[in-house]
Structure 1
Amino acid sequence: MKNLNLQIELVVNPSETVLELLYLSDPSKVHINSNLRSGSCYIAKVKSEIVGVIVLGNINSNTTEIKNIAVKESEQGKGIGKLLLRYAEDIIRKSGNKKLIIGTGNSSIGQLALYQKEGFEIESIKKDFFLRNYDEIIIENGIQCKHMIVLGKKL
Structure 2
Amino acid sequence: MEQFTFNKISIETDIPYELLLLADETIEAIDRYIFNSDIYLLNDGSGDIAVMALHQNNDTELEVKNIAVIEDYRNKGIGSILMNKAKEIARENGYKTLTVGTSDTGLQQIRFYEKNGFIKTGIRKNFFIENYPAPIYENGLQMQDMILLTHHLSE
TM range (shorter): over 0.9
SS at match of 2:32: helix
Code of the aligned partner of 1:141: N
Q: 1:106 matched to which residue of 2? A: 104
% same residue? 34
Q: 2:29 matched to which residue of 1? A: 31
Cα offsets for 1:65-93 (capped at 9, x unmatched):
00111111221111111100110100010
Distance 1:116 1:19 in 2: 26
Distance 1:150 1:4 in 2: 33
Distance 2:14 2:78 in 1: 20
RMSD over aligned CA atoms reads 1.2
Code of the aligned partner of 1:119: G
Pairs aligned (count)? 152
Cα gap change, 1:103 to 1:14, in 2 (>3 Å): farther
1:53 aligns with 2:29: no
1:1-155 aligned at under 5 Å gives the runs: 3-12=1-10, 13=12, 15=14, 18-155=16-153
Q: CA deviation at 1:94?
A: 0.2
Code of the aligned partner of 1:15: D
Code of the aligned partner of 2:124: K
Code of the aligned partner of 2:100: I
Distance 1:67 1:21 in 2: 13
- Greater share of helix: 1
SS at match of 1:24: coil
Cα offsets for 1:6-47 (capped at 9, x unmatched):
21101114536x211111111121221222100100001101
Per the normalisation by structure 1, the TM-score is 0.93
SS at match of 1:54: strand
Cα gap change, 1:67 to 1:143, in 2 (>3 Å): same
